[in-house]
Amino acid sequence: MRRLVEVHGTEEHPEVAACLHALGGVLHAQGHLSAARAVHERSLAAQVAVCGTDKHLSVAACLHALGIVLGDLGDFLGARTALKRSLALKAELLGSEKFPEVAAGLHVLASVLSAQGDLRAARAALERCLAIKGELFGSENHPDIAASLQALGGVLLAQRELPAARAALERALAIEREVHGTEKHLSVAVCLHELGDVLLVSGELRAAHAAFARALAIKRELYETDKHASVATSLHALGCVLQAEGDLAAARSHLTRALEIQTEVLGTEKHPFVATGLHALGSVLLDLGDLAGARAALEHSLRIKSELYVDDHRSIAAGLHVLGNILFHQRDLVGARAAWERSLSITEALHGAETHSDVSSTLHSLSMICLVEGKLHDAVALLRRALDIEIRCFGGIEQYHSAEIEAALAMVLLRLQQHDEARGRLAHAVPLLALVNPHHPIVLQYAAWTSGR
């Protein structure tokens, strides 16, 4: 690189610009994101100078590479700007969208749009991407199609279209296994991880645990070390499913280790992965009864998110929801209500008021304040609305989180002397709760009641 600059006397030369572009790619692959950004910016400036215009495919390629690095650094606005400019140049210069370069640009842009919380735009970009790839490759058995199906599955999961998300990810996983002829491939591990996410949200905890564990085993075998961001992602996911299964000590251990790896690998705390890790750890600390530790973790997470995202991002809504849980347990009902209502407002604005399970979860939480205040009928109204949303989202109330809401409703109905409906709901909800957590307080209470009859 230095030799080329010495030979040509400037960076504004085609060979130097190409070398800078390649070096940026190497630095990115090695995880040196800040250095990669600086080199890609130099490469972009060199290409514009060499071409005498920014309307050139080489410039579009530099913008694409820079956009990817900016996205990985958490600079989503910068990434979105670079990637959209790259796509516009490609469409103008190539005269058509039906090129691999355009499909690749749409795929990466979708990941940035999703990170920003613009799920509709992300979904539209991925559907356009898949349509182009379908025409280009003519067959589903292509890794590029699998990659976009996997990304689409992630967006559909965020939109809580779970059957569609699962179908997309299962198709992607089948393609990856066929293309690579083995499970011991990173693409297979990533697909398994994404499928695990869908299974976890669907309440299929054993299947989710198995998918995450298999993904982690593949990554460890491939990387031969735990000090890799992708390994940390799987440790994080396992921590989340262990929490749902009630194994809080193991969940805390996995999440702490994942957070340590992410912070070391990234070299900074100001990153979505770190914010997400702190959020998850705070949730587990809450379940363990460490309210001070949980609050510190959640507030730290929200500070990072407030620097990375706009105020109405879904990740901030999730953080506010858990912070509300902590404040409630600290008996700060005013603070808890404010956090939950702000979380609900963001989620309803993003997804609609009656079609997303995050809405039902927050309604469940708000019902607890009504109970403390003695407003039993208000609590019943919130819980019934939450169950209606669960039915719309999942086609029924057979999931663990749905069972928790139904059991909570039954307990309020008992206090209102509505015994027949309460008994019927408990008979339905308790077996679902017991499958996942046989020590759930309502499961134990119900067992005591039935044994004493």
User: What integer is the mean pLDDT of 209-226?
Assistant: 93
d(CA 242, CA 207): 12
* 289, pLDDT greater than 60: yes
- If one counts every other C-beta atom within 10 angstroms of the C-beta of residue 170, the result is 15
Q: What's the pLDDT score for residue 453?
A: 56
For residue range 221-244, list pLDDT tens digits in order.
998 888 888 899 999 999 999 999
Q: Is the pLDDT of residue 158 over 90?
A: no
Domains of the chain: which residue ranges?
A: 366-453
Which pLDDT band, with edges at 50, 70 and 90, does 5 fall under? very low
7 confidence band (pLDDT: 50, 70, 90): very low
The residues, ordered by sequence, that sit 6+ positions from 108 with a Cβ below 8 Å of its Cβ are 64, 67, 68, 71, 83
- pLDDT for 220 beyond 90: yes
Q: Looking at residue 379, what is its pLDDT?
A: 97
Instruction: Give, in order, the Cα–Cα distances in Å from 296 to each of 242, 247, 342.
Output: 22, 22, 19
Task: Tell me what pLDDT residue 40 has.
Answer: 87
The secondary structure of residue 267, as a DSSP letter, is S
d(CA 277, CA 215): 18
CA distance 285 to 300: 14
Q: Residue 8 above 60 pLDDT?
A: no
Q: How far apart are CA 306 and CA 309, in angstroms?
A: 6
Residue 69: is its pLDDT beyond 60?
Answer: yes
Q: Give the pLDDT confidence score for residue 191 in this predicted structure.
A: 94
- What pLDDT shows up at residue 6? 45
Round to the nearest angstrom and report the end-to-end CA distance of the chain: 83
Instruction: Look at residue 353 and tell me whether its pLDDT is greater than 90.
Output: no
Which pLDDT belongs to residue 4?
Answer: 47
Structure tokens that stand for 147 in this block: 């990659």
Least confident of 2-11, 256-265, 421-430: 2-11
pLDDT interval class at 332 (50, 70, 90): very high
Long-range interactions of 134-142: CB distance < 8 A, separation 24+: 135/98, 136/98, 136/99, 136/100, 136/103, 140/171, 140/175, 141/175, 141/178, 141/179, 142/175, 142/179
Q: What is the pLDDT of residue 118?
A: 76
Q: Is CATH 3.40.50.720 the classification given to domain 366-453?
A: no
Which residues, 6+ apart, have CB-to-CB distance to 221 below 8 Å? 184
Average pLDDT score over the chain: 88
Between 440 and 363, where is the model more confident? 363
Query: Looking at the predicted structure, is the pLDDT value of residue 103 above 80?
Result: yes
With cut-offs at 50, 70 and 90, classify the pLDDT of residue 310: low
* The token pair that represents 383 in the structure block: 């819980």
- From the list 123, 54, 47, the residue with the least C-alpha distance to 92 is 54
175-206 tens-digit pLDDT? 999 998 888 998 999 999 999 999 998 889 99
pLDDT at 218 (0 to 100): 95
pLDDT per position as a tens digit, 49-65: 878 888 888 888 989 99
Average pLDDT over residues 352-360: 80
